[in-house]
Amino acid sequence: MSGGHSGPVVAAGAVVWREHDGVPLVLLIHREHHRDVSFPKGKVDQGEGVPAAAVREIDEETGYRVHLGAPLGRAEYVLPSGRDKVVHYWSARVSSKEFERAGRFRPNAEVAAIEWVTVDEART
């Protein structure tokens, strides 16, 4: 425990992906207020399950309604405040039908833009 809190900040997200012309693409979000690019994720609300938080955050940040696939592990790091953070990740596929339903991305308070990239592009 650091920073006088009762435990780490717990968050959940996913590597959201879809196929385009047989090529898997992954979704990256651009967050201006954090000046970063990441996979969609966010804090787990009190009383909320970790998987449910991942699904909610993906919808809030991107507009895509997903079902979680395989768990991918977790990332642990220390926030600038000194508090520990743990982010649980899953795989989450966006079907062609869902991609069409969601339509064009609309920027929101948390996410300025989204980008579908190849796995190799996401690594850089």
pLDDT tens sequence across 110-123 = 899 999 999 999 98
Please identify which residue in the block is written with the tokens 């948390």.
110
Q: Are residues 74 and 12 in contact, defined by beta-carbon separation less than 8 angstroms?
A: no
9-123 has which fold?
Answer: Nucleoside Triphosphate Pyrophosphohydrolase (3.90.79)
Please identify which residue in the block is written with the tokens 């991918």.
72
Give the residue ranges of DSSP H helices in the chain.
50-62, 96-102, 119-123
- Residue 71: pLDDT band (50, 70, 90) is very high
Domains of the chain, by residue range, sit at 9-123
pTM of the model: 0.89
The arithmetic mean of pLDDT across residues 65-85, rounded, is 96
- Residue 3 pLDDT greater than 90, yes or no: no
